[in-house]
Amino acid sequence: MTPTTATQSTGRTTEKTATRPFHVNVPETALTELRRRINATKWPERETVTDPTQGVQLATIQALASYWAEEYDWRKIEAKLNALPQFITEIDGLDIHLIHVRSKHENALPLIVTHGWPGSITEQMKIIDPLTNPTEHGGNTSDAFDVVIPSMPGYGFSARPITTGWDPAHIARAWTVLMKRLGYTKFVAQGGDWGAVITELMGVQAPPELMGIHTNMANVIPLDIDKLVFSVAPAPANHSAVEKLAYERLSFVYANGIGYGFQMGLRPQTLYGIADSPIGLADRDMEKLGGDHKMRRTAAIASLNVGWCLWYQAAGWGRTTVLGFCINPCAQTVTSE
């Protein structure tokens, strides 16, 4: 997974800040060790209920483990990645990995797309051709985009920060640097989950090159209401029925859905188990996703492979506090192979 030798695009571009071609090649030894660890998993007792209210059910994770160790073919996703133009470039002292696909259509609109957590660049691969080649998908040439999909710092093939400071605002600024470095004087941005936070902060920072943003996780809750929910206070009496319903749903999420976030934000270094055990990593993220994901199993494992294999090869890379409560070096779920 070492990028090829960098070539300077201009006399003023240093080797580090050039966009260097990148090729994925996970060593077979890493995949062999991955399968060995999966097969050596020490399983806990079965849950005492018949539903997932106590967490990921034993049968669910054992089925995923069996498929991962015995049937899953990483080389297929590796070949798909390597069929796309990939690059590495250094921004603020950190190597950033990206997919960069230019449309064949003139005047294509440059677009930077940011993944979330659990998430990775693998989940965006399926949108590349419809965006860059819309005429093959029922669209018009005016619908075409040049697509840039970076791996966030600490994720996938991007480098791991060794100090704190790479927060969403920093990443947002870095993405503007990246797009300008790629030669774009105007562009738009899109993101989901943590990618949505980063994209919205790009909008807040409002660089002159940014024409607009799109998010599929809009932060629309007023700060005063958010603080009330977080403090477990009852909904304000003057709320409408719709507002009270939204308040109740947010209260439920805070009470039942983000325990993992507190752990990762307050004591990220404590989570050694998900660095040592691929099943520990998979189970933690299946818990975040919830339910039985048979239909997305192959796709989920694609990103799990990226995360765990890179972590295994670079012992200690997991010690990252990139986004407050994210120590996981990569993504863990996508919706199609």
Answer with the residue of higher pLDDT: 319 or 80: 80
Q: Check residue 332 and give its pLDDT.
A: 29
Q: How many CB atoms lie within 10 A of CB 262?
A: 10
pLDDT digits (tens, 9 = 90+) for 120-173: 888 899 999 999 999 999 999 999 999 999 999 988 899 988 888 999 999 999
Q: Are 187 and 113 in contact (CB under 8 A)?
A: no
Q: Check residue 320 and give its pLDDT.
A: 34
Q: What is the mean pLDDT of residues 2-16?
A: 44
Q: Are 207 and 174 in contact (CB under 8 A)?
A: no
pLDDT surpassing 60 at residue 27 = yes
Q: Check residue 294 and give its pLDDT.
A: 52
Superfamily of the domain at 20-220+257-313: Alpha/Beta hydrolase fold, catalytic domain (3.40.50.1820)
pLDDT digits (tens, 9 = 90+) for 36-45: 999 999 999 9
Burial class (CB in 10 A: 0-12, 13-18, 19+), 232: exposed
Angle between helix 58-70 and 28-39 (nearest 10): 150
Burial class (CB in 10 A: 0-12, 13-18, 19+), 334: buried
Q: Check residue 111 and give its pLDDT.
A: 98
- What SS3 state is found at 194? helix
pLDDT digits (tens, 9 = 90+) for 250-308: 999 888 877 777 777 788 888 888 778 888 888 877 766 554 555 467 767 777 777 66
pLDDT digits (tens, 9 = 90+) for 180-229: 999 999 999 999 988 999 999 999 999 999 999 999 988 888 889 989 99
pLDDT digits (tens, 9 = 90+) for 83-108: 999 999 999 999 999 999 999 999 99
Q: Check residue 87 and give its pLDDT.
A: 97
Largest CA distance in the chain: 66
Q: Are 327 and 166 in contact (CB under 8 A)?
A: no
147 φ, ψ to 5°? -115, 130
